[in-house]
Homo-oligomer: A and B are copies of this chain.
């Protein structure tokens, strides 16, 4: 009941994750997911009633993984500068292992903005700012990061690490033409992005 069950349900979930990430909700086919999981299509509907249910389960988990990467940074006992370095390095490393995730999420939030809206409404941004300020009051002042321009700063940091993966086919083509490859570019980016950001705020 539990042993084989979990196996099947997990097999389905993993297959669905792979297929949805590669093809997106619209491009994915239930038959394709069943084939990847090595089971009958009806079993999909047995465990997850509809394509929508299955997709939501997959998306929720993936989005969670992605956003949880942001949280622990705040707890680390590091200078703001080192936190930025730490975040960029870890975030890029995570995406190196899951290179299609950024494009998948970025696309699906446009198909259904309401889902991400609810997720964000549940975050206490004031508290987040208070925590940040308590830990780095002087640094924030010195770097001219205020509550008002925090979204600009945070989207800049996020963009520095996410954009290369979102635009991977373009960047990979460019690198290829210059005799390098995308992986080298990404390895370099860990340092380049962090340096760039820190230079910018140090002005």
Residues of A within 8 A of B (CB): 23-24, 26-27, 100, 103, 106-107, 109-111, 113, 116-117, 120-121, 123, 125, 149, 151-152, 155-156, 158-160, 162-164, 166-178, 180, 185, 188-189, 192-193, 196-197, 199-203
Q: Which residues from B are CB-within-8-Å of A176?
A: 117
Q: Which residues from B are CB-within-8-Å of A163?
A: 155, 158-159, 162-163, 166
Q: Which residues from B are CB-within-8-Å of A156?
A: 160, 192-193, 196
Tell me how many chains of this kind the complex includes.
2
Best-buried of A27, A170, A175 by chain B (most CB within 10 Å): A170
Interface of A is mostly: helix
Q: A177 near B125 (CB under 8 angstroms)?
A: yes
Q: Which residues from B are CB-within-8-Å of A185?
A: 151-152
Q: B110 near A168 (CB under 8 angstroms)?
A: yes
Q: Which residues from B are CB-within-8-Å of A178?
A: 125, 151
Q: Which residues from B are CB-within-8-Å of A110?
A: 100, 103, 168-169
